[in-house]
Amino acid sequence: MASNRTARDRGQSQAAPRRLLARVRDVMAESGAAEERLDHITEIIAADMVAEVCSVYVRRAGDVLELFATRGLKPSAVHNTRLNVGEGIVGDVAAKARPLALADAQAHPNFAYRPETGEEIYHSMVGVPVLRGGRVIGVIAVQNRTQRHYSDEEIETLQTVAMVLAELIAGGELISRDELMHPDSAEAKPVRLEGLRLNAGLGMGTAVLHQSDHHIEQLVGEDAEAERLRLAEAFSDMHGALDDMLGDGDMVEGGEHRDVLEAYRLIAEDAGWLRRIEEAIDTGLSAEAAVQKVQNDIRARMGQIPDPYLRERIHDLDDLAHRLTAHLLGVNGDAAESDMPPDAIVVARSMGPAQLLDFDRTRLRGLVLEEGSPTSHVAIMARALGIPVIGRVRNALAEIDNGDTVIVEADQGHVLVRPGVDALSAFSEGMRALEVQRAKYAELHGLPAQTLDGETIDLRINAGLMIDLANLEATGADGIGLFRTEIPFMVRTRFPRVDEQTELYGQVLDEAGDRPVVFRTLDIGGDKILPYWENAAEDNPAMGWRAIRMSLDRPALLRQQLRALIRAAAGRTLRVMFPMIAEVAEFDAARALLDKELAREKARGAPLPDDIHVGVMLEVPSLAFQMPALLERIDFLSVGSNDLVQFLFASDRGNPRLADRYDPLSPILLKYLKGIVDQCRDADIPVGLCGEMAGHPIDAMALLGLGFRRISVAPATVGPVKAMIRGLSLEPLVQFMEPLYDLPDHSVRERLRTYAADHGIPI
């Protein structure tokens, strides 16, 4: 009986908003003027919610909320009552993009009395934002004479109606679309915009404004179960399409793709995402309208969170919502993308990494974003593809029009819109210099990474997908210094079987041929969540339950991977390393599992690898204090500079406020690494470094001066790093750096830059 009653109650609670939505939909379909329909809708809302007042405010240029329709306030207040965003209760709702329900509105500190409205006789009030694309474009306010407590169901209903009302406001009949989207549009004159370099480079082309919003015609769903089924099918299709895209051969030129698949992670990270969409469908929305409503709410809420890492995840979730909506609507790509000019500069508020891959990279010359950070996934993907990117360009979409000529000077963080003759001439000179530089890098392809005094450097690349293997030949690298095995796990909708892993690792070894490949065991957990593996949220995922910690707690997971690696390397050399090792005991436990799998395969009579090299990634600073014991147990050591730097300085590398706080070329880090290198040399254990640090020529030069002779970099940086190596004499550099380790300086970068200039070393 209880369950039947619950189901009946749920059905009744869902029926009320569905009836209201149906009435609002009918009004939306009427042929009258937009303001007449808006007036009718306010009457319907007031009647349905048994409220004396319902008012609709529309956001105008200059961050002003103008009263456009009311039922209950004085009619003369329409178009005469205006509030700034943040002013009054209505302005507070708009500023925070969140609903606000008050039993006694006049007692609220933000209450702003407007005598022309006659609202002094009304006490209780609930306001909800009207959202489109995560941006507040209006506010719906409901008021009652008595001190009424509005229920969660009433607020949810009002939010659902706001979702539908957003289409009327955005339709261009109440206010122009130009004012709505570009309230401060620029005149047709040259403009220079400032931003933050997300990826270096120089590009010029025709502006293509990228808007992620799809036009949704069917906002109300007639059959909730049918809409849920459409959602499930679109969700499955989206995963399949992403799998196909990521395996597409035209990504070969890209390089390192380690984070492009993080979009998958977000579905699991926000475990309630799909459930919340289904709940929105139950209120009467169509599947696509439900996706948009939930995403609007998530964007508005997460935009208030101070944590920059979480704010950056909005863009990836936007990407997913955009894709899911496209599958629901049967839309393939955006018009702007299909009509791309030969030389395109894409301008967007934000962008997910997979969205970047939708564009024809042969035509893409640059990317300008209103948001973004150097550690955002789209920035990392652009870095791999060699596309110059500038982020945090304020009002880029308002200042730049489709078809404008735009120059992206990413190194300086400048965006030149409608440039003059002088700027065009300077760009041409800069591009000629870049072409000369690229030609020099191409000439180095078949040459060894050897210093002027005859020291050969083992220059390898990082990889994570089969498409990355083509970069071995394209760059002339000596091997793969880091193969991130977690990425193939992240592209699947289930845990890959041992035979599937074996096939993959075998293909990697086949493609590499005689070149070495170092497989890093799974670095999942923390912020790298598999889409099919439920995991609890953590306050600090980078330092949480991840990598070897998860593998040792779930030994079957690691044993299956090691089994696959052993079988794939049968008759060949297997190089495997364990990540995030904090103490020797963890390595011993991981090595014991490897030995068990070797014994298991031997007992089966299966062929074994001819040789096995077992190593460790030094990412956790504590491991350095057990180096003597560690070096007795390992065959090689690889320093993971990305995590090591953030742990050593207690500095979250995902926080843009700390992005430039600490320099890898600090005497602190250099002295730390020097101690590691010296101990490895004395123990005759090869030591290398993989991470972003190795991909910058000046940083790589410092690493060579410390004693590193093996570095692994993103494929796109092989050319400049090799050029630096071939222009360097090691012995003078080693001597120059000796006095630097004990300096109290914040950084020795400028000293090294001066040294390179004085000695003609290309950095």
The yes-or-no verdict on residue 182 having pLDDT over 70 is no
Concatenate the DSSP letters of all residues of 582-628 into one string.
Answer: -SHHHHHHHHHHHHHHHHHHHHTT----SEEEEEEEE-SGGGGGGHH
Res 251: pLDDT: 41
More confident residue, 248 or 344: 344
Tell me the pLDDT band of 647, cut-offs 50, 70 and 90.
Answer: very high
Q: Taking 50 as the threshold, does the pLDDT of residue 260 lie above it?
A: no
The answer on pLDDT for 398 being more than 80 is no
| Predicted pLDDT at 14 | 57
Q: Mean pLDDT, to the nearest integer, of 388-404?
A: 86
Q: Which of 73-87, 369-383, 671-685 has the highest mean pLDDT?
A: 671-685
Q: In sequence order, what E strands does 200-351 have? A: 202-210, 344-348
Please report the pLDDT score of residue 201 as a whole number: 84
| Domains defined along the chain, listed by start | 14-175 (3.30.450.40), 191-215+224-434 (3.50.30.10), 444-758 (3.20.20.60)
Give every CB contact of residue 501 below 8 A, 6+ residues apart in sequence: 488, 560, 561, 564, 565, 568
- pLDDT of res. 113: 80
Structure confidence at residue 442 (pLDDT): 82
How far apart (Å, rounded) are the C-alpha atoms in residues 125 and 147? 9
Q: Spell out a b/e string for 349-359, using b for 16 or more CB atoms within 10 Å of the CB, else e.
A: bbbbbbbbbbb
Rounded distance, CA 649 to CA 388, Å? 29
φ, ψ for residue 290, nearest 5 deg: -65, -40
Going by the DSSP 8-state scheme, the letter that residue 97 receives in this structure is T
**Residue-level length of the chain:** 763
- Type of residue at 75: P
Statement: residue 209 has pLDDT above 90:
no
Q: How far apart are CA 593 and CA 576, in angstroms?
A: 13
pLDDT at res. 533: 64
Q: Which two tokens stand for residue 734?
A: 């080693």
Closest of 172, 165, 289, 182 to residue 227, by C-alpha: 289
Per-residue pLDDT at 368 exceeds 90: yes
Q: What is the arithmetic mean of pLDDT over 52-74?
A: 90
Percent of the chain scoring above 90 in pLDDT: 39
| pLDDT beyond 60 at 248 | no
Tell me how far apart the alpha carbons of residues 357 and 318 are, in angstroms, rounded to a whole number: 15
Q: pLDDT > 70: what percent of the chain?
A: 81
Helix (H) or strand (E) holding 185: none
Radius of gyration for the alpha carbons in the chain, expressed in angstroms and rounded: 29
**Residue 245 confidence (pLDDT):** 55
Q: Which of 210, 257, 322, 377 is catalytic?
A: 377
Does pLDDT of 1 surpass 70? no
Does the pLDDT of residue 33 top 70, yes or no?
yes
Helix or strand or coil: residue 198? strand
**Residue 321 CB partners (closer than 8 Å, separation 6+):** 291, 292, 294, 295
Amino acid at the residue 511: E
Task: Indicate if the pLDDT at residue 5 is higher than 60.
Answer: no
**pLDDT the model gives residue 67:** 93
**In the structure, what pLDDT confidence band is assigned to residue 7 with cuts at 50, 70 and 90?**
very low
Active site residue 377: yes
Complete DSSP assignment for 100-130: EEESSGGGSTT----TTTTGGG--EEEEEEE
17-32 confidence digits (pLDDT tens) = 678 888 888 888 777 7
Asked whether the beta carbons of 382 and 389 are under 8 A apart, the reply is: yes
**What are the strands of the beta sheet with 364-369, ordered from one edge?**
191-194, 414-417, 405-409, 202-210, 344-348, 364-369, 389-391, 196-199
Q: How many C-beta atoms lie closer than 10 Å to residue 408's C-beta?
A: 30
Question: What integer best gives the mean pLDDT of the chain?
Answer: 83
pLDDT of 35 above 80: yes
Range in 219-233, 289-303, 582-596, 715-729 the model is least confident about = 289-303
pLDDT of residue 649: 93
State residue 492's pLDDT score.
Answer: 59
Spot the catalytic one: 322, 327, 690, 696. Answer: 690
Higher pLDDT, 56 or 212: 56
Phi, psi of 395, deg, nearest 5: 60, 30
Closest CA to 716 of 383, 355, 360: 383
Token pair listed for 222? 């007639």
149 is annotated as an active-site residue: no
Q: Is the pTM of this model over 0.95?
A: no
At 328 the pLDDT is: 84
Q: Which one is predicted more confidently, 242 or 521? A: 521
pLDDT for 172 equals 76
What mean pLDDT do residues 240-252 have?
Answer: 54
Residues 149-173 have pLDDT tens digits of 888 888 888 988 888 888 888 877 8
Checking if the pLDDT of 600 tops 70, the result is: yes
Q: 31, exposed or middle or buried, with CB in 10 Å at 0-12, 13-18, 19+?
A: exposed
pLDDT digits (tens, 9 = 90+) for 441-486: 888 888 999 999 999 999 999 887 676 787 888 889 999 999 988 8
pLDDT at 302: 62
Which among 760, 763, 758, 644 is positioned nearest to 701, based on CA atoms?
763
